[in-house]
């Protein structure tokens, strides 16, 4: 499953000279017999290591272990995982086929419960398969599922670009922008959501700088966002999560840009734990707070944020950093991975 095509400095230099769209967080290599290629994000920024996923279990495990993370990227990966799960099925009986498909789909759904893009992508493949219910043809259904997964991948790339182009007008010269977690190329198949806005503003020649929160406990801000922004020569300053209020009170933040994992019909938004705190602080200091997300993150079936399932992860992620204890043995800890920002704190959606 694991491969490192180019190691060390060479590979880092190669990626550094590419536009963020070219940070290939997730890609399908080869034809229908090919495999899903992912960057192992748990290894960043120390090492750029690629994973080859040839089975749905490889993909599910990568999502669970957060080797791949970020709601849009998870959605794309899940679509390919379903395809990988069915491509070798032999049954020519639709009910049997659908039963096997459903087992895989349910297993994938449980990997990250808050990222609604996962459910959305599974539903898209499900719709393709159901369309063959009456006139079942195994090889055609497998081919059509592959094509749908490729379509989801391409669409995500295009949507990221459009989010960037639409949102770039929010950024003015000399702005200091605060972002949280990683809503960049590493969280999507394209150039990101919140960070795509930053990349497009830079392309338009605007001068600005970014503050990135480190994003405890898994440090997506320091490990991933800072890495991505530095790769793209965007001035970035790392802060601890608890420093944002201080900077805001000193008028050092002009705009907050974040991504989203699940947005309810009324605009309540689930995003990485700590987003709610930043939104309340931004309101107190009259700083615009924008959420950037593809339509696949909007869930019109649910009325408000109270209906969003929040993922709770292993408390060891709090009591340990990369395997080393930072609290006394047997310390009780709780680890919600996301929080809900009520819509009243959100200036707008891109």
Q: Is 212 in the site for ligand MRU (CB under 6 A)?
A: no
Contact 345, 282 (CB under 8 A): yes
Min dist CB 151 to ligand MRU, Å, is 19
Which of 21, 35, 72, 208 lies at the binding interface for ligand MRU (CB under 6 A)?
72
Catalytic residue among 58, 156, 261, 299: 261
Min dist CB 68 to ligand MRU, Å, is 9
Q: Is 259 in the site for ligand MRU (CB under 6 A)?
A: yes
Contact 49, 41 (CB under 8 A): no
What is the distance between the alpha carbons of residues 270 and 248, in angstroms, rounded to a whole number? 22
Contact 214, 184 (CB under 8 A): no
The 8-class DSSP code of residue 23 comes to S
Q: What are phi and psi of 149, to 5 degrees?
A: -65, -40
Residues 182-211, interacting with ligand MRU (CB under 6 A):
183, 187-188, 193
Min dist CB 238 to ligand MRU, Å, is 17
- Specify the stretch interacting with ligand MRU by CB under 6 A; choose among 16-24, 201-209, 255-263, 300-308: 255-263
Q: Is 70 in the site for ligand MRU (CB under 6 A)?
A: yes
Q: Is 272 in the site for ligand MRU (CB under 6 A)?
A: yes
Cα–Cα separations (whole angstroms), residue 301 to 120, 257, 263: 12, 25, 10
Min dist CB 327 to ligand MRU, Å, is 21
DSSP-derived pairing of the beta strands 320-321 and 298-299: unpaired
Q: Which position's Cβ is nearest ligand MRU?
A: 259
Contact 307, 332 (CB under 8 A): no
What is the distance between the alpha carbons of residues 118 and 74, in angstroms, rounded to a whole number? 6
126 is catalytic: no
Indicate which residues carry an active-site annotation. Answer: 261
Chain residues binding ligand MRU by CB under 6 A are 69-72, 181, 183, 187-188, 193, 220, 259-261, 271-272, 337
């Amino acid at each position: 499953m694991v491969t490192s095509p180019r190691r060390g400095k060479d590979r880092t230099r190669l990626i550094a000279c590419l536009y963020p769209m070219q940070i290939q967080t997730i890609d399908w290599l080869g034809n229908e017999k090919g495999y899903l290629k992912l960057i192992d994000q748990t290894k960043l920024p120390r090492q750029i290591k690629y994973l080859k996923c040839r089975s749905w279990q490889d993909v599910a495990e990568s999502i669970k272990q957060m080797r791949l993370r970020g709601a849009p990227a998870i959605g794309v990966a899940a679509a390919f995982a379903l395809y990988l799960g069915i491509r070798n099925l032999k049954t020519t009986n639709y009910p049997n086929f659908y039963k096997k498909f459903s087992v895989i789909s349910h297993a994938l759904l449980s990997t990250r419960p808050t990222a609604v893009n996962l459910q959305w992508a599974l539903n898209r493949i499900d719709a393709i398969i159901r369309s063959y219910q009456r006139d079942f043809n195994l090889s055609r259904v497998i081919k059509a599922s592959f094509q749908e997964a490729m379509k989801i991948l391409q669409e995500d790339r295009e949507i990221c670009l459009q989010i960037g182009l639409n949102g770039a007008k929010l950024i003015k010269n000399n702005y200091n922008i605060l972002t949280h977690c990683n809503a960049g190329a590493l969280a999507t198949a394209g150039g990101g959501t919140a960070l795509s806005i930053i990349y497009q503003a830079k392309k338009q020649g605007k001068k600005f700088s970014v503050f990135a929160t480190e994003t405890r406990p898994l440090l997506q801000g320091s490990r991933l966002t800072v890495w991505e922004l530095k790769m793209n020569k965007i001035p970035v300053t790392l802060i601890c999560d608890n420093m944002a209020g201080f900077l805001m009170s000193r008028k050092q933040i002009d705009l907050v840009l974040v991504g989203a994992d699940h947005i309810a019909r009324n605009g309540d938004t689930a995003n990485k734990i700590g987003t709610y705190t930043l939104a309340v602080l931004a309101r107190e200091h009259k700083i615009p707070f924008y959420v950037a997300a593809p339509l696949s993150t909007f869930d019109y079936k649910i009325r408000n944020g109270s209906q969003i399932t929040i993922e709770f992860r292993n408390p060891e992620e709090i009591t340990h950093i990369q395997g080393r204890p930072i609290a006394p043995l047997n310390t009780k800890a709780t680890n919600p991975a996301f929080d809900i920002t009520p819509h009243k704190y959100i200036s707008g959606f891109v």
